[in-house]
């Protein structure tokens, strides 16, 4: 898997991205092609215009093939995101009937993992990831790998991430049937976090915030385990809409203001900075104060911060429990002084933007946070066992009523 060409598609709201790369022997990612095209075919993870998506994917693939000098006709890692994603922590137990010791082998471990996902996921949903959180053998401490150990009972803990069957059916039809590309689905937040956070950050505890256009992914790691994930339906596009409504200007003009003129932390906005914006259907222009509109932007991002605080509280933790602090990423995070606003609300820990490292490309991608998921997808085989991923294989809709474990044999990380 590491020596073969990797293909990745990040299907975001308002833009889709594609990349071609390979994994080098030192686990760096050599990017051969990276492209982006604006698209209104996806809304918070849902395909809302399949023909438009297909058209834009064909344009993207043509450019990727030209840049990388390859033919894309096999398989690809494809992001799954948005409102269709749900997650839950699950646990289950196996014990011997006679209360005698038995040795834990791969078969028992797989049975535990299957049970963790089956008990929590309904028939109309599909398991994307069943992420191990450790094991207990009788009254033991938490064990990372139980294979070869003995005991009269074993408990497994996992973090189950699942999505509506409908989303994957549409994805499979678009890629497999129309483009002849086998899609391997990955939750975009998990892809972004897995490859771009360091082992030490996950070990010490880190809160990963991936801000997109229509949603924000929150993933929380502790002791090198993923202990919580959540998709909240708030993103930077709402900031744009707030500005457009307040200023009575076009969404395009508001987007330009957001990126070029606004401070997401109004304390750092310049009250003396007055600039003009165009008024739709009018030759006149309106004067706007940077401080005034920055306060609007700050309020919207504080809504996201409030949700982060709710999620941390929901798992019985507090901010100081995460010694590596907060790492912010995603295309929606590229607004001036957003890191300072987070530092204001989370003064107990370090807060910083995520840097994209270990990438070989003709130009620096270090601060290109909009590509964090795409790079994570290219690097997926490094951080996840290759033979534990599965293509969709959901041609017969009636088969969706079968148990999750039989459909997704071997997908567990």
Does the structure show a pLDDT above 80 at 161?
yes
Which of 312-321's residues contact partners 24+ apart within 8 Å by CB, and which partners?
312/207, 312/220, 314/228, 315/220, 315/227, 315/228, 317/220, 317/222, 319/207, 319/346, 319/348, 319/349, 320/348, 320/349, 321/205, 321/222
Residues 215 and 295 in one domain: yes
- Tell whether 318 is covered by a domain: yes
More confident residue, 387 or 259: 259
- The mean pLDDT value for 81-94 works out to 94
Q: Are 132 and 113 in contact (CB under 8 A)?
A: yes
Query: What is the tens place of the pLDDT at every residue in 96-129?
Result: 988 899 999 999 999 999 999 887 688 889 999 9
- The mean pLDDT value for 380-402 works out to 47
- Tell whether 105 is covered by a domain: yes
Question: Distance between CA atoms of 23 and 1, rounded to whole angstroms?
Answer: 9
Residues 247 and 328 in one domain: yes
Where residue 110 sits, what CATH number does that domain have? 3.30.1490.110
The sign of the torsion formed by the CA atoms of 298, 299, 304, 308 equals positive
Residues 322 and 214 in one domain: yes
- 110's enclosing H/E stretch is helix 106-118
- Tell whether 413 is covered by a domain: no
Number of H helices, E strands in the chain: 13, 20
Residue range of the domain that includes 254? 198-353
Q: Tell me, what's the pLDDT at 4?
A: 83
Residues 55 and 153 in one domain: no
- The mean pLDDT value for 348-375 works out to 93
Does the structure show a pLDDT above 50 at 66?
yes
Query: What is the tens place of the pLDDT at every residue in 276-289?
Result: 887 777 677 888 88
What's the chain's average pLDDT? 89
More confident residue, 285 or 10: 10
Residues 185 and 206 in one domain: no
Does the structure show a pLDDT above 50 at 211?
yes
Does the structure show a pLDDT above 70 at 192?
yes
Count the domains in the chain.
3
More confident residue, 404 or 10: 10
- The mean pLDDT value for 349-361 works out to 93
């Amino acid at each position: 898997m590491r020596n073969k060409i990797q293909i990745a598609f990040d299907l975001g709201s308002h833009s889709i991205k594609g990349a071609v790369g390979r994994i080098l022997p030192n686990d760096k990612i050599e990017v051969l092609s990276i492209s982006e095209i604006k698209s209104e075919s996806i809304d918070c993870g849902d395909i809302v215009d399949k023909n438009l998506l297909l058209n834009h994917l064909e344009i993207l693939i043509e450019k990727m093939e030209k840049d990388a000098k390859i033919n894309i006709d096999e398989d690809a890692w494809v992001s799954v995101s948005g409102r269709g994603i749900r997650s839950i922590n699950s646990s289950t137990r196996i014990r011997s009937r006679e209360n005698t010791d038995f040795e834990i082998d791969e078969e028992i471990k797989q049975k535990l993992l299957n049970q963790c996902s089956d008990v929590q996921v309904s028939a109309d949903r599909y398991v994307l990831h069943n992420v191990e959180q450790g094991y207990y053998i009788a009254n033991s401490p938490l064990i990372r790998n139980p294979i070869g150990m003995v005991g009269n009972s074993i408990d497994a803990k996992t973090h189950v991430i699942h999505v509506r069957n409908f989303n994957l059916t549409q994805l499979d039809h678009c890629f497999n049937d129309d483009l002849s590309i086998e899609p391997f689905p990955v939750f975009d937040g998990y892809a972004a976090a897995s490859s771009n956070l360091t082992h030490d950050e996950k070990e010490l505890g880190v809160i990963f915030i991936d801000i997109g256009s229509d949603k924000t992914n929150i993933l929380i790691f502790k002791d090198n385990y993923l202990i919580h994930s959540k998709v909240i339906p708030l993103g930077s596009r709402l900031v744009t809409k707030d500005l457009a409504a307040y200023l009575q200007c076009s969404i395009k003009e508001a987007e330009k203001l957001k990126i070029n003129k606004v401070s997401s932390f109004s304390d750092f906005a310049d009250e003396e900075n007055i600039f003009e914006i165009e008024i739709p259907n009018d030759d006149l222009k309106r004067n706007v104060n940077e401080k005034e509109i920055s306060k609007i932007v700050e309020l919207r991002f504080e809504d996201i911060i409030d949700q982060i605080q709710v999620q941390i509280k929901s798992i019985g933790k507090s901010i100081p429990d995460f010694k590596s602090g907060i790492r912010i990423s995603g295309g929606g995070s590229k607004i001036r002084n957003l890191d300072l606003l987070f530092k204001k609300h989370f003064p107990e820990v370090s807060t910083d933007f995520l840097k994209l490292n270990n990438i070989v490309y003709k130009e620096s991608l270090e601060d290109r946070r909009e590509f964090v998921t795409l790079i994570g997808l290219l690097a997926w085989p490094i951080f996840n066992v290759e033979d534990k991923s599965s293509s969709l294989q959901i041609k017969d809709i009636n088969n969706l009523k079968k148990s999750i474990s039989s459909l997704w044999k071997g997908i567990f990380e």
